[in-house]
Amino acid sequence: MSNNMIFIIMGVAGGLFALIVLAYLIISKKMKKSEYKQIQNLQRGTRANKFSAEILYQKLYITYIKIPFIKRYILKLRRRLEIINIDDEYSTRRDASKVLTRALVVLLPIVLLTIILTHTNYLLMFIVLIFELFMTDTLIDGSVDKIDDKLLKEQIEFFSEIRHAYHEFNMVEEAIYQVSQDDEKDVSSQGEKIYEILISDDPETELEKYYDIAPNSYLKEFAGLSYLTKEFGDRKVDGASLYLKNVDNITQEMQLEILKRDKLNYVFQSLSFIAIAPILLLEPLKNWAISNFSFVESWYVGKPGTIVQIAILVITFISYILVRKLKDNGSTHKSSHTENPWQEKIYKKPVIKKLVNLVIPKDGSKEYRKIQKLLKDAASPLKIEWLYINRIVATILVFMISLVLFIQLHKVAINYIYTEPTVDYDLIGGLSDRQKKQAMEITEQDNTFLERFKGDLDITVEEVQEAVEKSEFYEESTPDEIQIAAERIHGKLKTINSEYMQWFEFLLAFVFAIVGYMAPVWILFFQQKMRELEMEDEVMQFQTIILMLMRIERVNVEIILEWLERYSNIFYEPITRCVNNYESGPWESLEDLKNDITYEPLIRIVESLQAAVEKIPIRDAFDELDSERDYYREKRKESNERLIKRKGMIGKGIGFAPMICMFVGYLIVPLVFIGLTSMSTSFSSMSSSNF
């Protein structure tokens, strides 16, 4: 290339560079005068200059929602957090991402540790990883419960500020609006929602909608009380505002509930982990026992140890489920997933629907009514179709898992025969390296005969002895040594040939499947029994509601029943029937309610309502509630103490059961039993040698 051409290229490139610089300057000058500069300034003012956890959680939420398995958990969190964060998408995403991230931070190291500890036992690893999925649910539910508890504590301060604002404005809606301006608290969004309801064109309808989405019953009570006060007006009772006295009653209820939750959390804070800990300790405990007491190795690696291991895993699973049910029952949060769950998706398939309908009792039959009543008494969100899908799926899974476990047990027993060092138990201290090498040589020699005669069910000791005599391994052996070897090999053959699926194992799998079929119903029975412990607490809450309503003008028995229905849980079904039949006859409907229940304190409330229907005013019918208010408050505290103590005793018994079974069944029993057996054998050998 000539020098002239080089100069021409350099000149063209320089000219293009000058044009680019000139164009940049012109565009920059115009952009400074345009709206673009204003947008840049706005972005600069809102851009974070350093790390922001808020932004990180928002980005993580977008990532989680794209991952198929994690998406299930993030959506589950959303459903619960949307109730707390009303109409606040930013807070809902932030809180859901924060809770899930913390759960993953705890779970991932445990998963890695599990894989490291159980890498030699794939069955145990699989079961442990399944359990850790349940732990994820526990962590997530616990985190959401903490947010729920935080909201409850904020409500106490919120109601305290309501008192001062009400004194200033003397108007319910204005007081709520004024206190709800604090955007830093989660309860402020609830206050704004209640304010919007009170000033709406149809507050009664909007209030009914709010009852369905309110995070807890205390906000429902406050919203309903504010509406009644706005509609019917406030009045003075003993020189004080009735509205503020009722707000104080709600506050006292919340304080009792917070104390109850704190004590339950304290009692159950470690029980879930204690219940599940044995599955993480099985392998380390086994390794420790073998390293210190080598004579138990055959028990741990053989069929007996595997059976005990599986039994401990099943006990741990049952204990974990029951502990969770026992603790969750103490929360005021009621699950309400009416969305389309996996059971509904399966039930929609025509073939499965026909199969399930064959199993479900006929509508209107005694069994159908019994199951429906059990679902309601246990406060289960399941439909009867979903329950029977759970039962059928549990039956199939338990049957298949039982067969797989039986097959695995046979493989364990056969593998143990092929790999066990061929010696008697050494009670003193195990085998040296030289002894173990000799024992494994004998095992390998025996394995050649096992492979030759395996499957021959009619093999005799004489036939084995004949083969041993012709073997190169025993050319220089004495007749006694050959006979001992033949008997030993024949014993191993009998064990191997007997390790196949027996008819009674299919029968056991069928029995376990029946247990699996009944398990969902038994869990409902357990929930029902635990809810019966809450009866006294619920009736005392009814007394507080009546105490708030009895002095409000134009409140009648029907309104009281509607409030009791709204806040009832255990007695929801009979109270609902009473409300539905009230128009056809108040006295008769209350009489039917009294016949439907057996709990004496609630019967007395119904009798007082009957008196208020025809004979005396409501305030006179329940005058003992007002006069003995302090007594009922102390009784409520004492009732909560007894409830927590009773639940704690049941929870500790269930939670520590797997740990006790592990130490007794997996450590103490093998050491004692095998140790005594080995000692007895040693003494017998010594006695025979002396004679």
Model pLDDT for residues 533-580, shown as the tens digit of each residue = 777 778 888 888 888 888 887 788 888 888 888 888 788 888 888 989
- Condensed to tens digits (0 to 9), the pLDDT of residues 142-183 reads 777 788 888 888 888 888 898 888 888 888 888 898 888 876
Give 680's pLDDT tier (boundaries 50, 70, 90). Answer: low
Domain boundaries, the chain: 65-269, 340-529, 535-648
DSSP codes of every residue in 506-548:
HHHHHHHHHHHHHHHHHHHHHHHHHHHTTHHHHHHHHHHHHHH
- Taking phi over 0 as left and psi of -120 to 50 as alpha, with beta for the rest, 239 belongs to left
What are the tokens at 557?
């028995």
With a cut of 90, say whether residue 395 has pLDDT above it.
yes
Give the model confidence (pLDDT) of 5-28 as tens digits. Answer: 555 656 656 666 666 666 556 655
Tell which wins on pLDDT, 506 or 118. Answer: 506
- The model's confidence at residue 397, banded by pLDDT at 50, 70 and 90, is very high
Question: For residue 454, is it left (φ>0), alpha (ψ between -120 and 50) or beta?
Answer: beta
- Contact criterion met (CB below 8 Å) for 566 and 216: no
What's the half-sphere exposure (Cβ side, CA atoms, 13 Å) at 164?
Answer: 6
Q: How many helices (H) and strands (E) does the chain have?
A: 32, 2
pLDDT value, residue 15: 64
Over residues 471-489, the pLDDT tens digits come to 777 777 777 777 877 888 8
